[in-house]
Amino acid sequence: MIKKIVGKNIRYYRIQQGFSQKEVASLVGITPSYWGYLERGQKNPSIELVAIIAEILGVKANLLFVESPAENLPEEFVHCMYMVNSMGNNHIDFILTVIKAYIDLQKEQKKIT
């Protein structure tokens, strides 16, 4: 259900930004209890509210609707993926170049041994 996905994501990004529910609810202009309903997936936020929440949390609004395909990945890895996703394209290209070079190096080392 989409409201569960949105709730899980806003909770994740809120925690990543270091906000309490009360702080972020105040910034968004809703009550802390309504924020709690959103995080638990018990209420459907309007598109306008999603846009405000995304702006306050510093993420693109579409990310709040995406179910993570990384459910079984280590939390540290998922955190890194979210951080990379929020970076500019130049940073992402650089990180991908480094990762590809590392993978190529590992492949070469396996061929040698």
Q: Is 79 in the same domain as 44?
A: no
Count structural domains, the chain: 2
Q: What's the mean pLDDT when you consider all of the chain?
A: 87
Q: Is 21 in the same domain as 51?
A: yes
Domain containing 52 equals: 2-65
Strand locations in the chain, DSSP E? none
Q: Is 21 in the same domain as 59?
A: yes
For residue 70, tell me if it sits in a domain: no
Contact status, residue 36 vs residue 43, Cβ threshold 8 Å = no
For residue 48, tell me if it sits in a domain: yes
**CA torsion through residues 93, 95, 98, 104, sign:** negative
Q: Is 29 in the same domain as 53?
A: yes
What is the pTM assigned to this prediction? 0.63
* Owner of token pair 């709690």: 36
- Of 86, 98, 2, nearest to 50 (Cα)? 2
**What is the per-residue pLDDT across 40-89, written as a single tens digit (0 to 9) for each?**
999 999 999 999 999 999 988 988 988 865 555 666 776 777 777 777 77
- What per-residue confidence (pLDDT) applies to 72? 59
CATH of the domain at 16: 1.10.260.40
Evaluate if residue 34 carries a pLDDT over 80: yes
For residue 22, tell me if it sits in a domain: yes
